[in-house]
Amino acid sequence: MDIIVVSAVALIASGLTLFSGFGLGTLLLPAMLLLLPPEVAVAATAVVHLTNNLLKIALFGRHCRKDVLISFGGVAIVAAFFGAQLLTQLTQLPPLASYMLAGRELEIVPVKFVISVLILSFAIFDLSPSKEKTQFGPSLLPVGGLVSGFLGGLSGHQGAMRSAFLASSGLTKEAFIGTGVTIACLVDVTRLAVYGVHFSSIGNENFSLILAACTSAFLGVFIGQRVLKKVAMKMIQKIVGIGLVLLSVALGGGLL
């Protein structure tokens, strides 16, 4: 039954990326968090994210701009390592606080609290009208790599910052996609290597759930990208955004 639920949730979350305007990682991570421990959810999402981007590399990787890859991606890889290391440390910390609600003792756990803040922040950012206008000069590419890579390693939230910085670097559409997916894959490989070393639970009792979630999410993206054009429907975008905000509050407050 758990595998069926995990598969259904992952499939729906990945499918919503076609209509909501949110990225795969932004939607899939909260879905995984409902079903898996935080560190395992982040790792499982990284596997799906990496697999999805490997397909894009096959199509656009040859357009990757080497100079941007070095100035942005080099820093992002190093930052992703430290972000992933921080995640492993957060999972070992004791609860920040506990309280009673409806006869239940709830705990505010550091790793869930940090991830909830990031989910909330990026949900608001993605819903903000000023998102499309957010750009940075080419001289700030290393800073963008630092921020994007670190957040990518910590929770997988790398796409929004990466796109904002790369959008102002004078890339063609093909180069923008090719460079972006190449950097994303390098960040995913880096953080998965760290997760694999520290999170033994990833390969044990949760393996079947992760495999089911990864397969379903990848299937949803694979089918959707070939059947539908990616569009952002305002009403669905707002509903999903509000859902992410509510989920982040529940996660950070210890309700989930």
DSSP annotation of 109? -
Of the ranges 72-76, 134-138, 139-143, the best mean pLDDT one:
72-76
Split into its structural domains, the chain has a count of 1
Question: Which tens digits make up the pLDDT trace of 66-124?
Answer: 999 999 999 999 999 999 999 989 988 888 887 777 777 888 888 888 888 888 887 88
Q: How many residues does the chain have?
A: 256
Q: What is the mean pLDDT of the chain?
A: 80
Domain with 179, as residue range(s), is 2-252
Q: Could you count the other beta carbons within 10 Å of the beta carbon of residue 155?
A: 29
Question: Do the Cβ atoms of 177 and 61 come closer than 8 Å?
Answer: no
Confidence of residue 186 (pLDDT cuts 50, 70, 90): very high
Q: E strands of the chain, at which residues?
A: 97-101, 104-108
Beta strands at 97-101 and 104-108: parallel, antiparallel or unpaired:
antiparallel
Question: Do the Cβ atoms of 110 and 40 come closer than 8 Å?
Answer: no
> From the CA atom positions of the chain, what is the Rg in Å?
18
* Burial of residue 185, with CB atoms counted within 10 A of its CB: 0-12 exposed, 13-18 middle, 19 or more buried: buried
The whole-angstrom separation of Cα 149 and Cα 76 is 4
DSSP annotation of 228? S
